[in-house]
A and B are shown apart, each in its own frame.
Chain A
Amino acid sequence: MNKRSLILFLLSLSSFFASAQDNGPQMADGMRADGKIYVVIGVLSIVFISIVVFLILQERKISRLEKQIKK
């Protein structure tokens, strides 16, 4: 996964949250929107995505080292 698709994914997530919050009040489940649970999901996603980005960077470093050693 490259950086651009990551950013795209995050943007699509944010639009999903925004639209979900709009039609909240009439629904029984609107409580979740009012309770700002979407913010928590956003935070969780950012934490997890950061870890994944870190792993990808590590993976690249290791691949580079492997190539160097083979030479």
Chain B
Amino acid sequence: MKHLYKLLSVLLILYTLVYGMLGSVPRLDILNETIRNVYYHVPIWFAMIFMMTVSLYFSLKTLLNYNHLNDSKAFDASVIGFFFSIPGIATGSLWARYTWGTWWTFQDPKLNGVAVSILIYLAYFILRASVDDEQKRARLSAVYNIFAFVMMNVFIMVLPRITDSLHPGNGGNPAFGKYDLDNNMRMVFYPAVIGWVLFSYWLFELRNRLTLLKHEINE
């Protein structure tokens, strides 16, 4: 059943909405109850990175063998990823205000990295909009998208680990065990990640179907 993953994502997210609030969490200074944001802020970024990976996959497919289907999927996935970065930044900013004491800090390499990554993907959208020829646009933007993906990973995965970061699990060489997650939190956090990743795929699929409809009407 092709709708099954959608139902699964909705159920998982609903589960995390209920147990994310009710479950027990470590009692920590400064963080207090805001530690529950881990269930909502972090999975949104996972969904964003997942969508950018989907975008990269279809860009590679476009380069290997051109068709407008692959190209449109690469674009739509990056658009959904881009939209996930907006609540990602907004929730992070709000959380930072009440724990780090500021809406935004340029001291944190992850914040800077995310800002630069978003600009890199904005450039991808501008590049696409500025080429009229369909095939040329597909090839050019596919090549650019590979660079964009690599840069994004350098900026949000690699650099924050090399220098010090306010984000937990960064600065030094983290493993998942070093996260401030106890087992109770894992029971909510992992389903949340799966739920939001599936949810982003649902949005991507919907948007791509609309794009293909538009394409067929234009033919």
User: CB-CB < 8 A to B17: which residues of A?
Assistant: 41, 44-45, 48
Bin the interface of chain B by size: 10 to 19
B150 within 8 A of A: no
- Complex contact B206–A66 (CB within 8 A): no
Docked Cα-Cα span, A52 to B6, in Å, equals 10
- Complex contact A41–B21 (CB within 8 A): yes
- Complex contact B13–A48 (CB within 8 A): yes
A27 within 8 A of B: no
Chain B residues in the interface with A (C-beta under 8 A): 7, 10, 13-14, 17-18, 21-22, 24, 202-203, 206, 209-210, 213, 216-217
Docked Cα-Cα span, A29 to B22, in Å, equals 9
Given the known interface contacts A41-B21, A41-B22, the answer about A48 and B14 at a Cβ–Cβ threshold of 8 Å is yes
User: CB-CB < 8 A to A1: which residues of B?
Assistant: 7, 10
User: CB-CB < 8 A to B202: which residues of A?
Assistant: 55
Given the known interface contacts A44-B17, A69-B216, the answer about A55 and B22 at a Cβ–Cβ threshold of 8 Å is no
Q: How far is the CB of B87 from chain A (nearest CB, A)?
A: 12
User: CB-CB < 8 A to B13: which residues of A?
Assistant: 48
User: CB-CB < 8 A to B7: which residues of A?
Assistant: 1
Query: Which secondary structure characterizes the binding site on chain A?
Result: helix
Bin the interface of chain A by size: 10 to 19
- Complex contact A62–B210 (CB within 8 A): yes
User: CB-CB < 8 A to A41: which residues of B?
Assistant: 17-18, 21-22
User: CB-CB < 8 A to A45: which residues of B?
Assistant: 14, 17-18
Docked Cα-Cα span, A13 to B15, in Å, equals 11
Q: How far is the CB of B168 from chain A (nearest CB, A)?
A: 24
* Chain B minimum-CB-distance residue to A69: B216
Which of A40, A49, A65 is in CB contact (< 8 Å) with B213?
Answer: A65
* Chain A minimum-CB-distance residue to B7: A1
**Residues 1-25 of chain A, each 1 if its beta carbon lies under 8 Å from chain B, else 0:** 1000000000001000000000000
